[in-house]
Amino acid sequence: MGIDKAAVIGAGVMGSGIAAQIANAGVPVLLLDIPVAGEDRSALAKGAIQRMLKADPAPFMHKGAAKLITPGNTEDDLERLAGADWIVEAVVEDLEVKRDLYARIEAVRKDGSIVSSNTSTLPLALLVDGQPERFARDFLITHFFNPPRYMRLLELVVGEATGAETLDAIRDFADRRLGKSLVMCNDTPGFVANRIGNFWLQCAVNAARDHGLTVEEADAVMSRPVGIPKTGVFGLLDLVGIDLIPKVDASLAAALPEGDAYHGIRRGWDLLDRLIAEGYTGRKGKGGFYRLDKSGGKRVKEAINLETGDYAPAAKPALESLTASKTGGLKALIEHDDRGGRFAWAVLSQTLSYAATHVPETTDAICDVDRALKFGYAWKYGPFELIDRLGAAYFAGRLEQDGRAVPPLLAKAAKAGGFYRVEGGHLQYLKVDGSYAKVPRPEGVLLLEDVKRAGAPIAKNGSASLWDIGDGVVCLEVHTKLNTIDMDVIAIMETAVKTVEKDYKALVIYNEGSQFSAGANLGLALFAANTALWPMIEGLVEQGQKAYRKLKHAPFPVVAAPSGLALGGGCEILLHSDAVQAHAESYVGLVEAGVGLIPGWGGCTELLTRLAADPKRPKGPMPPVVEAFETIGTAKVAKSAFEARELGFLRPEDGITFNRERLLAEAKAKALELAEGYAPPEPAELILPGPSGKAALDFALKDLRLKGAATEHDMVVARELATVLTGGPGADPTEPAAPDTVLALERRAFMTLVRTEPTLARMEHTLETGKPLRN
C-alpha cells in the first residue's frame, strides 16, 4: 500500500505544517478547512499556505513544495478526498466535531485509504466508537509535534481493529518519506511525550515559585545543565503559547485517572490568568514571561517578576549551582544547596519518578519513552538516560532519603545496575520484567554509535576518527566542538586516503553530532593571527588544500553525509566529494565573507566548477562567476538540502535523506554503488573571464557601496573574491585555466585578508557572540 496523494483537514498551525512536510516529501496534498463567507470560500486554506511561505523558520524546505498543496474547503471540495491515500484530520479537539467529520469522510473516501487523527488528548477508542468497521480498520492516531518539519517525533496509536497493512503503510511513509522517529504508544491520555512533558513543565513552574527563582534562573538551570534546549521552561511556554497552558492542563486532568500524580501538582496562578487576559500570550502575543521592550529605539529583553508581575531587563543568572554543574555535571547541580540546586532536584526527582511509574502504561519500552522526549521535546537525554547519568541506585537512594516512594521499575534498575547496559557490543535496555533486551533498530538503519560500541577505531586522534562500517567502507568522523576542522582533522583526512586506498573500497564522511561541521577552527586561526604566527596559518591553508584535493582525486569514491550545519570548511568537504547524501535538514554555505575572509580550501574553485558543469545553468565564462560571487560574497546559507541543490552546493543527482537515522546507511550504499568500476575525476578546466570580468564585478561593487549596502571592508573582501573567481590579471578567457591557478589565488587572498585589522575584529566578534560584525 503506497501513499502517493494525501489530504489534511484543518489548516491551522499544525494541520498546515503537516501538509507542508508531506509536500516537502514530494507528495501532492489537499488542504481543507471550513468554508468562509465571501467570494473565496477556501480563504482559510489559501491563507495558511501564504503564511507558511513567509514564516521563519520556514515550514517549506523549498518554495516549490508549496505548489504541491491544493487549497479547498470542507463543503465544496470534500469529494476530492476520494483521490487521497492518506487523510489526516487536524481539527479542533472536540469529540463530536471529529466524529461528525469522520462520518462525512467515510462517505467519500476510497476503499483502503488511511484516515488518521492528529489529536493529542482524545483516546482512539472514543474516536472510533460507533464508526463503521471499515473506518476502524483504516484508522489510527498520528500525533505530530510542532513545528512538524523540525520536530522528529511521531507518536502512533492503533486500536484493536486497526489493520496491519494500515499501520505498516504509515510507519514506512512517516519514517522514510517524512523523516519521523516513530514511537508506538498505548491509548492513554497525553500518550508519552506530552504526558511526561506537561508534568515536567508544571513541576518546574511550581518549583520556581516555591524556591524563589527568577525566570532567568529557572531557565538557566532547567536547560543546558540538564541537556534541555536553552529555552528552558518559561522560554518554552512563551514559544508554544501561554494561552494554551490552561487548555492543555484541563484536557489532561480530565482524561487522567483520579490517582495520577499530575492531579497533585496542579495549581491555579493569578499571574498566568492576568497575562492571558492582557494579551501576553508568549511570542505570538505582546510577550509573556519574556518580552522585548522596543521603546527608545532599542530592543531590550525583559523578564517578568514571578511575584509582582513587573518586567525588568533580563539579568544573567549567577548561581553557584550553575558554576558547579560546569565541572561536576548533573549530580553536582542537584546536590548543591543553593536555590538552583534545590529547584533542579525538585523538578527532576518528580519528573523522572513519574516517567518510571508509567511504564508500561504509556508504552512498553523505556527506550521509547526516551526517544519520545528526545525527539518531541528536543531533550539531549531521555528520562531513563538521565537517571542512568545520575546512577539508578543513587537516584533511588535519594528518593528514599527524602521519604518518597521508589517506583518498582526504578528499584529493579537500581538492583540491576541501570536502565541501559552494553553487552557484547550491543546497547540493551531494562524491560519491565527485570531482564534486558537489545535496543531495536528499524531495518535499514545504521548508526555510528552502534559501530563504536562494537569495536575500536581504525585510527584516531583528539579531533577525528576512522571507523570500519562494514562491506569495505570506512567512516571519517570529526568530533571537535561543533565539529570544526583543525590540523588533526586534516591529518586524519590524509590517513584516511592512505588507509582506504590500501585496504578498503570507499570513504564516507559523517558524524552523529548536531552539526556536520561549522567550518575551520576560527579560534585557532585567530590565536595564530594575534601572535603573528603567519607561517602557521599559511601552513593550515596549504595543508588543508592538499588534503581536500587528495580526497577529490583519491582512487576510491568519497561520499559526504551532512546533517545540520555544513559551513565554510564543512561545505568544502561536500564540494570535494564524489557524491553527497545529505540529510534534508542540512544548512550549507561558504560563509567566510561574514568574518572578512574568503574560502581557502578550494571552495571557490569547486563551486565554480560545479556551477559551470550544471547543464541547466547558463553557459559562458561570466554566469558561473557572477553566481559564485553572489553566493560566496553574501555568505548565503541554504536552509535545507533542497536549497543547497538550488545554490549549487549539491549536484542534481546528489541524494537527500529525510530520516536522520537512515543517513549513514544510505551514504554507505551510495559509496558502494560508486565503488564498482570507480575512476577518480579528471582535473576540471575552467574558462575564466580575467580582467574584463573583474572590471564588471568592480562596477557592480561600486554601485553597492554608493547605495550604502556594503562597508569599506566589505569592498576589500569582495575585490579579493572577484580577483580569485575571475582568474586574476593573467587569465585568458579563450584558454582553460587549471584549478591549481585558482587555488593559488585563494591562498594569496586568504593570507592578505587575515592580516587586516577589520577581519581580525570580525573573527573575534564572531567567536564571542556567534554573530557577524559589519565594520
Which residues, 6+ apart, have CB-to-CB distance to 457 below 8 Å? 465, 466, 467
CA distances from 382 to 194, 371, 436 (A): 13, 7, 18
Q: Sign of the C-alpha dihedral, residues 574, 575, 579, 580?
A: positive
Reduced to 3 states (helix: H, G, I; strand: E, B; else coil), residue 74 is coil
Do residues 191 and 157 make contact, with C-beta atoms less than 8 angstroms apart? yes
Q: What span, in angstroms and rounded, lies between the C-alpha atoms of 311 and 490?
A: 50
96 phi-psi bin (left φ>0, alpha ψ -120 to 50, beta other) = alpha
Q: What is the DSSP string of 650-714?
A: S-TT-EEESSGGGHHHHHHHHHHHHHTT--PPPPP-B---THHHHHHHHHHHHHHHHTT-S-HHH
Single-letter amino acid code for the residue at 73: N
Q: What span, in angstroms and rounded, lies between the C-alpha atoms of 723 and 753?
A: 13
Q: Which residues of the chain have pLDDT under 50?
A: none
Q: What span, in angstroms and rounded, lies between the C-alpha atoms of 341 and 330?
A: 10
Rounded CA Rg of the chain: 28
Q: Sign of the C-alpha dihedral, residues 559, 452, 495, 567?
A: positive
Give the count of beta carbons closer than 10 Å to the beta carbon of residue 440: 11
Q: What span, in angstroms and rounded, lies between the C-alpha atoms of 211 and 207?
A: 6
Reduced to 3 states (helix: H, G, I; strand: E, B; else coil), residue 608 is helix
Q: What span, in angstroms and rounded, lies between the C-alpha atoms of 633 and 103?
A: 57
pLDDT attached to residue 775 = 76
Three-class SS string for 511-563?
CCCCCCECCECHHHHHHHHHCCCHHHHHHHHHHHHHHHHHHHCCCCCEEECCC
What predicted TM-score, i.e. pTM, was given to this entire model? 0.95
Q: What span, in angstroms and rounded, lies between the C-alpha atoms of 758 and 754?
A: 9
Q: Sign of the C-alpha dihedral, residues 513, 198, 195, 211?
A: positive
Give per-residue pLDDT as tens, 294-353: 887 888 999 999 999 999 999 999 999 999 999 999 999 999 999 999 999 999 999 999
**Residue 592: CA atoms inside 13 Å, Cβ hemisphere, count?**
30
Pairing of strands 6-9, 564-567: unpaired
Q: What span, in angstroms and rounded, lies between the C-alpha atoms of 94 and 122?
A: 8
Q: What span, in angstroms and rounded, lies between the C-alpha atoms of 206 and 742?
A: 62
Give per-residue pLDDT as tens, 370-429: 999 999 999 999 999 999 999 999 999 999 999 999 999 999 999 999 999 999 999 999
Task: Extract the C-alpha cell encoding 398.
Answer: 535519594
Phi, psi of 248 (to 5 degrees): -65, -40
Q: What is the DSSP string of 431-475?
A: -TTS-EEEPP--TT---HHHHHHHS--SEE-SSEEEEE-STTEEE
CA distances from 750 to 234, 562, 731, 744, 756 (A): 44, 25, 19, 10, 10
Q: What span, in angstroms and rounded, lies between the C-alpha atoms of 57 and 684?
A: 38
pLDDT attached to residue 345 = 98
Reduced to 3 states (helix: H, G, I; strand: E, B; else coil), residue 183 is strand
